[in-house]
């Protein structure tokens, strides 16, 4: 297995990215600025990442021959989304180093493992129970109570694969809708606000945290992020400590985004983690000394990390579905920095781009 954590990949090396979405696109743009080439592996033609990358493989995430060829053609492998089959990850890691490591991916792919890992490291999560069958749900609803949220352990994103249960009688319809033997029931957290923090950790185990960001969700999809978050210094330092503790415990090389709920008393409860650039970190492109994408490339290629300092307060506004029609007003706003993902078709709920609006 090639997984030497000290390997340094100099500019000119080829970064293989699993996934062709906007996170891959913005990583590839940052990589190009540092002199790297990217090779995208995606199931889609004309993907956002492929449009700006040197090479693309379009094949199934389970195509062993294509995966093997891809791994041989690149110097280092990373991923821009988490739902890659573990069997494919195993195949890839036997050929080339994957950063962040596959063991971190295995944890972040599964809500149950994620919560268990957090608890083991003294990080607060909402009370939860793993649900494999309807009788588990019947007994869990008695301890967790309502309102609560039933979520699939795998493949959830942008609020997909989760159902809020307001009354115990609703469990059967929720169970029927999700129809999976790998679920988690969580207590509904009456939070005051949602924040997230992004941590970078390099091959020499140096860590840097970005300023905590405040997230506003609409229909369970991130709508806007404001930085700095309107939280006390104490809450901000608790959030950073949690992020740093998780990054260390996971032995991360790369980026870790940690989503958290802030409670009325200023304490925080972890929601979920992602070992990659994160939508709530897009503000760093125009409001921090080093963007999360450049930082990600630095970390996985074995370069020293850049400064994470916030240079300007920012509001990041996602352009979801039809909202992209507001573009003309952003083009005439001198404080708006526009980032579009090159997606041709506008669909409801589809992230088309985002705008970083700088504080004048
Ligand atoms: N236990 C919970 N209590 C209250 N709100 C929740 C809970 N779980 C999720 N949510 C809301 O739904 C959003 C999306 O859920 P999340 O678990 O982060 O899944 P996703 O992978 O879709 O981002 C959260 O950001 C939050 O607004
Ligand atoms: Mg989330």
Burial of 216 (0-12, 13-18, 19+ CB in 10 A): middle
- Looking at the structure, do residues 175 and 208 belong to the same domain, yes or no? no
- Looking at the structure, do residues 150 and 268 belong to the same domain, yes or no? no
Where residue 91 sits, what CATH number does that domain have?
Answer: 3.40.50.20
Closest CA to ligand 1's atom 26: 220
**Domain coverage including residue 152:** 127-187
Residue 259 lies in a domain: yes
Q: How far is the CA of 159 from the centre of ligand 2 (A)?
A: 7
Q: How far is the CA of 259 from the centre of ligand 1 (A)?
A: 9
Distance (Å, whole) CA 12 – CA 16: 13
User: How many domains, the chain?
Assistant: 3
Q: What is the pLDDT of residues 11-20, one digit of tens each?
A: 999 999 999 9
Q: What is the pLDDT of residues 263-319, one digit of tens each?
A: 999 999 999 999 999 999 999 999 999 999 999 999 999 999 999 999 999 999 999
Residue 87 lies in a domain: yes
Q: What pLDDT is stored for residue 116 in this prediction?
A: 97
Question: Which residue from 163, 190, 271 has its CB within 8 A of the most atoms of ligand 1, so it is best to mutate?
Answer: 271
pLDDT above 90 (res 50)? yes
- Looking at the structure, do residues 343 and 308 belong to the same domain, yes or no? yes
- Looking at the structure, do residues 165 and 206 belong to the same domain, yes or no? no
Residue 133 lies in a domain: yes
**E-assigned strand segments in the chain:** 14-18, 37-42, 55-58, 76-79, 128-131, 148-152, 162-165, 183-187, 193-201, 207-209, 213-218, 221-227, 254-262, 268-274, 314-320, 336-340, 351-358
Residue list, ligand 1 pocket, CB within 6 Å: 126, 149, 156-159, 186, 188-189, 194, 217, 220, 259, 271-272
Where residue 222 sits, what CATH number does that domain have?
Answer: 3.30.470.20
pTM of the model: 0.96
| Local confidence band at 156 (pLDDT 50, 70, 90 cut-offs) | confident
- Looking at the structure, do residues 341 and 274 belong to the same domain, yes or no? yes
Q: How far is the CA of 264 from the centre of ligand 2 (A)?
A: 20
- For 229-253, b/e burial (b = at least 16 CB within 10 A) is bebeeebbebbbebbbbbbeebebb
Residue 1 lies in a domain: no
Burial of 15 (0-12, 13-18, 19+ CB in 10 A): buried
Q: What is the average pLDDT score of the chain?
A: 96
Domain boundary at 187, 205, 237, which?
187
- Looking at the structure, do residues 134 and 269 belong to the same domain, yes or no? no
User: Which of residues 286 and 3 earns the better pLDDT score?
Assistant: 286
Where residue 173 sits, what CATH number does that domain have?
Answer: 3.30.1490.20
Residue 136 lies in a domain: yes
Take residue 20 and report the two structure tokens written for it. 């062709």
Average of pLDDT values for 35-51? 98
Q: How far is the CA of 129 from the centre of ligand 1 (A)?
A: 16
- Please report the atom of ligand 1 found closest to the CA of residue 161: 22
Q: How far is the CA of 72 from the centre of ligand 2 (A)?
A: 33
pLDDT above 50 (res 3)? no
Domain boundary at 59, 79, 98, which?
98
Q: How far is the CA of 322 from the centre of ligand 2 (A)?
A: 22
Polymer length in residues for the chain: 360
pLDDT above 70 (res 4)? no
Average of pLDDT values for 192-200? 98
Average of pLDDT values for 88-94? 97
Take residue 141 and report the two structure tokens written for it. 């609803």
Take residue 330 and report the two structure tokens written for it. 């952003």
- Looking at the structure, do residues 167 and 201 belong to the same domain, yes or no? no
Residue 232 lies in a domain: yes
Question: Which residue from 216, 220, 278 has its CB within 8 A of the most atoms of ligand 1, so it is best to mutate?
Answer: 220
Q: What pLDDT is stored for residue 179 in this prediction?
A: 82
- Please report the atom of ligand 1 found closest to the CA of residue 149: 1
- Looking at the structure, do residues 137 and 265 belong to the same domain, yes or no? no
Residue 154 lies in a domain: yes
Q: What pLDDT is stored for residue 6 in this prediction?
A: 61
- Looking at the structure, do residues 245 and 314 belong to the same domain, yes or no? yes
Which of 13-17, 48-52, 175-179, 240-244 bottoms out in mean pLDDT, i.e. has the lowest? 175-179
- Looking at the structure, do residues 151 and 50 belong to the same domain, yes or no? no
- Looking at the structure, do residues 248 and 351 belong to the same domain, yes or no? yes
Closest CA to ligand 1's atom 16: 159
Residue 258 lies in a domain: yes
Domain boundary at 163, 187, 211, which?
187
- Please report the atom of ligand 1 found closest to the CA of residue 222: 25
- Looking at the structure, do residues 77 and 139 belong to the same domain, yes or no? no
Q: What pLDDT is stored for residue 2 in this prediction?
A: 43
């Amino acid at each position: 297995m090639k997984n030497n954590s000290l390997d340094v990949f100099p500019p000119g090396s080829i970064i293989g990215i699993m996934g062709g979405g906007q996170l891959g696109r913005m990583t590839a743009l940052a990589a190009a600025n540092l002199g790297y080439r990217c090779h995208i592996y995606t199931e889609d033609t004309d993907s956002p990442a492929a449009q700006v990358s040197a090479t693309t493989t379009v094949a199934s995430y389970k195509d062993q021959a294509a995966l093997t060829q891809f791994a041989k053609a690149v110097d280092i492998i990373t991923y821009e989304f988490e739902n890659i089959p573990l069997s494919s990850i195993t195949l890839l890691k036997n050929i080339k180093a994957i950063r962040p490591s596959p063991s971190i991916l295995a944890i972040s792919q599964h809500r149950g493992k994620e919560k268990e890992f957090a608890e083991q490291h003294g990080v607060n999560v909402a009370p939860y129970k793993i649900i494999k069958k309807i009788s588990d749900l019947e007994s869990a609803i008695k301890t967790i109570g309502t309102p609560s949220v039933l979520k699939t352990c795998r493949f959830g994103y942008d609020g997909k694969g989760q159902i809020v249960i307001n009354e115990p009688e609703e469990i059967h319809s929720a169970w029927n809708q999700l129809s999976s033997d790998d679920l988690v029931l969580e207590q509904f957290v009456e939070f005051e606000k949602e924040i997230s923090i992004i941590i970078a950790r390099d091959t020499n185990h140096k860590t840097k945290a970005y300023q905590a960001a405040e997230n506003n969700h609409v229909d369970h999809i991130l709508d806007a992020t404001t930085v700095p978050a309107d939280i006390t210094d104490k809450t901000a330092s608790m959030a950073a400590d949690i992020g740093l503790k998780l990054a260390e415990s996971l032995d991360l090389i790369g980026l870790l985004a940690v989503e958290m709920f802030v409670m009325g008393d200023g304490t925080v409860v972890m929601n979920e983690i992602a070992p990659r650039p994160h939508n709530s970190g897009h503000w760093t492109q125009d409001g921090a000394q080093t963007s999360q994408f450049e930082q990600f490339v630095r970390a996985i290629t074995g370069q020293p990390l850049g400064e994470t300092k916030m240079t300007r307060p920012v509001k990041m506004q996602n352009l979801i579905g039809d909202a992209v029609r507001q573009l003309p007003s952003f083009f005439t706003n001198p404080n708006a920095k526009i980032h579009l993902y090159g997606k041709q078709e506008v669909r409801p709920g589809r992230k088309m781009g985002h705008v970083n609006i700088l504080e004048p």
